[in-house]
């Protein structure tokens, strides 16, 4: 019996457009290199900065709403096809989604309508359309399969999209601190997403690869989720209500992450780069949240945020977020192209470099010349994603080894 059209396997005449993870991971790897190179050039004074979004706001927007959001949406669209058996975006729709993302990157850096000042409006339109297409496609997959367990990811992506549009609105209105606060909030929302996905995949991957019993912690997983959401909402609200201090909640979330890591740990995982990279990323999330909490509890109403807070934020953004993304991109790309789930020593080096990059950036406050640690951290970041892009370019642009579609 022939399956209904909506259940036909994903096919495309060009492998790159067969599944969302392919262009998403490839563009993300390239943009991770280009965006940080541009940021280094700005810090060094070689270029004046982005015209669409100036200075730090451009850096925040492009790393969170450009690079990280692309990886997250591309991953979820791909994973949803596994969960539901409903094909993800592919072919022309996937091309259009990728093109919207590229247009948004161009609009964020250039100012084609400088005389009218409408560049940020165009950026919001392109970025918002990209979010809308990606979220709608995910909704379609989950709704057709009645996959209620995964509806939470639609809510998370919708929250991220709203933060993105609010960030651009406040930037256009000249509200620098509020826009920056929304960017910081995005990192915490990514922490919520990491907590959910990590709770699902890390114990499963660990048990399967090390041939050990899988740790089951459903109550702890729910407690992590509820506490993380409450802490994130508290942080977002704290800029309007300075008496509201989310530090204690963030400290609780950090402790819960550490407790859960203890349940997941086995010494055997240290021999598996695709495992220890995920565990170290979650460890960095816990430590980063704890340091952010300490900063907020010691100076809750300080604006701009204390140095410790910003340094800890980079530990979460680099070692935790980017570290987990790099590990998941490497694993997903191998699995979905019919390759063995094994990485070379070069990829293991990339995992180590991205972890060290975040640690070095977080330690900037300990140096007499902190900008040196910024440059060193950026160099490690560039090396890490250069390795990933070099190794995975042929994998992401070629057909599956087993001849299956996707």
* DSSP one-letter string for 177-227: HHHHHHHHHHHHHHHHHHHHHHHHHHHHHHHHHHT-PPP--HHHHHHHHHH
Q: pTM surpassing 0.85?
A: yes
pLDDT at 365: 82
- In this structure, are 224 and 152 located in the same domain? no
2 and 373 Cβ atoms separated by less than 8 Å: no
Burial class (CB in 10 A: 0-12, 13-18, 19+), 400: middle
pLDDT value at 300 more than 60: no
pLDDT-based confidence at 405, cuts 50/70/90? confident
The pLDDT score that the predictor gives to residue 256 is 97
- 54 closest CA partner among 184, 180, 187: 180
Which range, of 5-9, 53-57, 301-305, averages the lowest pLDDT?
Answer: 5-9
Averaged pLDDT, 82-91: 93
Q: Are residue 247 and residue 373 in the same domain, yes or no?
A: yes
Band (pLDDT 50/70/90 cuts) for residue 403 is confident
Query: Which has the higher per-residue pLDDT, 10 or 156?
Result: 156
Under the banding of pLDDT at 50, 70 and 90, the label for residue 3 is very low
Task: Name 99's Cβ contacts closer than 8 Å, sequence gap at least 6.
Answer: none
In a shared domain, residues 170 and 217: no
282 and 233 together in one domain: yes
- State how far the Cα of 219 lies from the Cα of 369, in Å rounded to an integer: 45
In a domain, 395, yes or no: yes
Clarify whether residues 61 and 141 are in a common domain.
Answer: yes
- Contacts of residue 233, Cβ cutoff 8 Å, sequence gap at least 6: none
The confidence score (pLDDT) of residue 270 equals 95
Quick: pLDDT tens for 27-82. Answer: 999 999 999 999 999 888 887 766 567 788 999 999 999 999 999 999 999 999 99
Which segment of 108-122, 135-149, 243-257 scores lowest on mean pLDDT?
108-122
Give percent above pLDDT 70 in the chain: 92
Q: Hey, is 163 helix, strand or coil?
A: helix
The count of C-alpha atoms lying within 13 angstroms of the C-alpha of 149, restricted to the half-sphere facing its C-beta, is 8
Residue 184 lies in a domain: no
Residues 362 and 320 placed together within one structural domain of the fold: yes
Identify the pLDDT of residue 257.
97
Average pLDDT on 128-136 reads 97
CB-based contacts of 344, cutoff 8 Å, min separation 6 = 391
CB proximity list for 175: less than 8 A, separation 6 or greater: none
pLDDT for 5 equals 38
C-beta separation of 133 from 100 below 8 A: yes
Residue ending a domain, among 156, 174, 192, is: 174
What average pLDDT does the segment 320-344 reach?
Answer: 96
8: pLDDT strictly greater than 50: no
d(CA 176, CA 319): 26
50 in any annotated domain: yes
Place of tokens 């609105």: 169
Task: Supply the pLDDT for residue 371.
Answer: 84
Residue 152 lies in a domain: yes
pLDDT of the residue at 307: 84
The pLDDT of residue 86: 94
**Domain annotation covers residue 305:** yes
Distance CA 392, CA 387 (A): 8
Is the CB of residue 53 less than 8 Å from the CB of residue 107?
A: no
State whether 148 and 212 are in the same domain: no
In the chain, what percentage of residues exceed pLDDT 90? 76
The DSSP code sequence of 291-343 is HHHHHHHHSTT-SSPPHHHHHHHHIIIIIIIIHHHHHHHHHHHHHTTT--S--
Predicted confidence (pLDDT) per residue in 218-246, tens digit: 999 999 999 999 999 999 998 887 767 89
- Find out whether 336 and 366 touch, Cβ atoms under 8 Å: no
What distance in Å separates the CA atoms of residue 149 and residue 160, rounded to the nearest whole number? 19
* Domain shared by 158 and 213, yes or no: no
Annotate 44-95 with DSSP letters as a single string.
HTSS---SSS-HHHHHHHIIIIIIIHHHHHHHHHHHHHHHH----S-HHHHH
Does 281 lie in the same domain as 157?
Answer: no
Helix (H, G, I), strand (E, B) or coil at 164: helix
CA distance 257 to 199: 10
> Structural domain of residue 168, as residue ranges?
15-174
* Residue of 119 and 268 predicted with greater confidence: 268
Question: Quick one: 77 and 154 in the same domain?
Answer: yes
Mean pLDDT of 342-348: 95
At residue 306, φ and ψ (nearest 5 deg) are: -60, 155
Domain match, 278 and 393 both: yes
Q: Say which DSSP state 7 is in.
A: G
Whether 289 is in a domain gets the answer yes
**Do 236 and 332 have their domain in common?**
yes
Domain total in the chain: 2
Cα–Cα distance for residue pair 236/131, rounded to 1 Å: 21
Whether 114 has a pLDDT exceeding 60, the answer reads no
Report the chain's terminal Cα–Cα distance, integer Å: 22
| 195 within a domain of the structure (yes/no) | no
190, 230, 361 from 376: Cα distances, Å: 25, 35, 8
Confidence of residue 293 (pLDDT cuts 50, 70, 90): very high
List the structure tokens of 112. 């084609």
Mean pLDDT of the chain: 90
Domain-embedded: residue 150? yes
């Amino acid at each position: 019996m022939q399956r209904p059209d909506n259940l036909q396997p994903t096919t495309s005449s060009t492998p790159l457009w067969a599944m969302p993870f392919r262009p998403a991971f490839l563009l993300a790897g390239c943009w991770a290199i280009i965006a940080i190179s541009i940021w280094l050039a700005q810090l060094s004074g070689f270029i004046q900065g982005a015209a669409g979004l100036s200075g730090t706001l451009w850096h925040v927007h492009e790393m969170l709403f450009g690079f990280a959001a692309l990886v997250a949406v591309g991953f979820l669209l791909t994973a949803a096809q596994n969960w539901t058996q409903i094909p993800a975006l592919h072919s022309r729709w996937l091309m259009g989604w990728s093109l919207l993302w590229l247009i948004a990157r161009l609009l964020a850096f250039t100012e084609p309508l400088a005389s009218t000042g409408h560049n940020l409006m165009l950026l919001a339109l392109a970025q918002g359309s990209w979010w809308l297409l990606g979220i709608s496609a995910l909704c379609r997959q989950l709704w057709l399969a009645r996959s209620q367990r995964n509806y939470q990811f639609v809510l998370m992506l919708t929250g991220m999209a709203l933060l993105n549009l609010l960030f651009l609105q406040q930037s256009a209105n000249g509200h620098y601190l509020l826009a920056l606060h929304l960017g910081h909030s995005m990192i915490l929302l990514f922490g919520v997403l990491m907590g959910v996905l990590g709770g699902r995949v890390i114990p499963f991957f660990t048990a399967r690869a090390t041939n050990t019993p899988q740790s089951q912690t459903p109550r702890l997983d729910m407690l992590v989720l509820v506490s993380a959401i409450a802490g994130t909402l508290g942080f977002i609200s704290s800029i309007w209500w300075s008496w509201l201090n989310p530090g204690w909640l963030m400290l609780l979330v950090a402790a819960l992450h550490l407790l859960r890591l203890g349940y997941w740990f086995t010494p055997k995982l240290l021999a598996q780069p695709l495992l220890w990279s995920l565990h170290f990323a979650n460890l960095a999330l816990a430590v980063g949240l704890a340091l952010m909490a300490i900063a907020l509890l010691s100076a809750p109403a300080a604006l701009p945020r204390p140095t410790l807070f910003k340094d800890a934020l980079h530990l979460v953004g680099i070692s935790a977020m980017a570290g987990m993304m790099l590990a998941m991109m490497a694993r997903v790309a191998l699995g979905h192209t019919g390759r063995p789930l094994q990485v070379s020593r070069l990829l293991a080096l990339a995992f180590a470099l991205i972890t060290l990059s975040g640690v070095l950036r977080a330690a900037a406050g300990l140096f007499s010349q902190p900008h040196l640690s910024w440059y060193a951290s950026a160099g490690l970041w560039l090396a890490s994603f250069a390795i990933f892009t070099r190794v995975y370019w042929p994998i992401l642009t070629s057909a599956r080894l087993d001849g299956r579609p996707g």
